[in-house]
Structure 1
Amino acid sequence: MKLSENAKYLEDVAYVAGLDIPWEKLNGKTVVLSGATGLIGSFLIDVLLQRNEKNGAGIKIVALGRSKERIYSRFGFSTDNEFFMAITQDVNDDINTELKEIKADYVLHLASNTHPLQYSTDPIGTVITNIIGLKNMLDYAADSKAARFVFASSVEVYGENRGDTEYFAEDYLGYIDCNTLRAGYPESKRAGEALCQAYMKQRELDVVIPRLSRTYGPSMLKSDTKAISQFIKKGVEGEDIILKSEGTQLYSYSYVADAVSGLLYCLFLGKSGEAYNIADPDSDITLRDMAKLIAEYTGKEVVFEIPDATEAAGYSKATKAILDSTKLKGLGWSAAYDMKKGLIRTIDVLREI
Structure 2
Amino acid sequence: MINNELYINDVRYVAALNLPWEFMKGKTIMITGASGMIGSAMIDVIMYRNMYLGMDCTVYGVGRDIEKGKKRFIEYWNNKNFQFISHDINLPFSQNMDVDYIVHLASNTHPVAYSTDPVGTITTNIIGTNNLLNYAVLNGTKRFMFASSNEIYGENKGDIEFFDEHYCGYIDSNTLRAGYPESKRCGEALCQAFKKKKNLDVVIPRLTRSYGPTMLMSDTKAISQFIRKGIAGENIILKSEGKQYYSYTYMMDAVAGLLTILLNGKNGEAYNIADESGDIILKDLAMVIAGYAGTEVVFEVPDEIEKVGYSTATKARLDGSKIRVLGWKPQYDINNGVKRTMDILRHIM
- TM bucket (normalised to shorter chain) is over 0.9
Residue 77 of structure 1, CA deviation:
4.4
| Residue number in structure 2 paired with 1:201 | 196
SS of the residue corresponding to residue 102 of structure 1 reads coil
Which of 252, 256, 270 is the equivalent residue of 1:275?
Answer: 270
CA distance in 2, matches of 1:186, 1:43: 24
SS of the residue corresponding to residue 48 of structure 2 reads helix
SS of the residue corresponding to residue 255 of structure 2 reads helix
User: 1:263-312 CA distances to partner (integer Å, 9 max, x unpaired)?
Assistant: 11110111100000001101100110000000111110000000011100
Residue 55 of structure 1, CA deviation:
0.6
Which of 190, 208, 211 is the equivalent residue of 1:213?
Answer: 208
Residue 94 of structure 1, CA deviation:
1.9
| Residue number in structure 1 paired with 2:326 | 331
Tell me, yes or no, if structure 1 residue 135 matches structure 2 residue 135.
Answer: no
Q: What letter matches 2:172 in structure 1?
A: D
Identity in percent: 57
Residue 142 of structure 1, CA deviation:
1.1
CA distance in 2, matches of 1:78, 1:281: 36
Residue 332 of structure 1, CA deviation:
1.0
Which of 280, 304, 308 is the equivalent residue of 1:285?
Answer: 280
> Is the CA contact (8 Å cut-off) linking 1:244 and 1:305 kept in structure 2?
yes
| Residue number in structure 2 paired with 1:257 | 252
SS of the residue corresponding to residue 181 of structure 1 reads coil
CA distance in 1, matches of 2:137, 2:224: 36
CA distance in 1, matches of 2:296, 2:32: 38
Cα distance change on mapping 1:231 and 1:252 into 2, 3 Å:
same
Residue 78 of structure 1, CA deviation:
7.8
CA distance in 2, matches of 1:351, 1:82: 33
Q: What letter matches 1:246 in structure 2?
A: E
Residues 1-353 of structure 1 mapped to structure 2, 5 A cutoff: 3-77=1-75, 79-96=77-94, 100-353=95-348
Residue 69 of structure 1, CA deviation:
2.2
CA distance in 2, matches of 1:21, 1:337: 19
User: 1:14-65 CA distances to partner (integer Å, 9 max, x unpaired)?
Assistant: 1100100001110010100100000110000000010001111101000100
Between 303-312 and 135-144, report the one with greater CA deviation.
135-144
Structure 2 unmatched ranges of 5 or more = none
User: 1:305-340 CA distances to partner (integer Å, 9 max, x unpaired)?
Assistant: 000111000000100000000000011111110001
Provide the TM-score with structure 1 as the length reference: 0.97
CA distance in 2, matches of 1:63, 1:77: 14
CA distance in 1, matches of 2:92, 2:293: 46
CA distance in 1, matches of 2:91, 2:78: 23
> Is the CA contact (8 Å cut-off) linking 2:76 and 2:82 kept in structure 1?
no
Provide the TM-score with structure 2 as the length reference: 0.98
Q: CA RMSD in A?
A: 0.9
> Is the CA contact (8 Å cut-off) linking 2:273 and 2:323 kept in structure 1?
yes
User: 1:134-163 CA distances to partner (integer Å, 9 max, x unpaired)?
Assistant: 011111111111110000000000000010
Count of residue pairs the alignment pairs up: 348
Moved over 2 A (4+): 77-81
> Is the CA contact (8 Å cut-off) linking 2:66 and 2:86 kept in structure 1?
yes
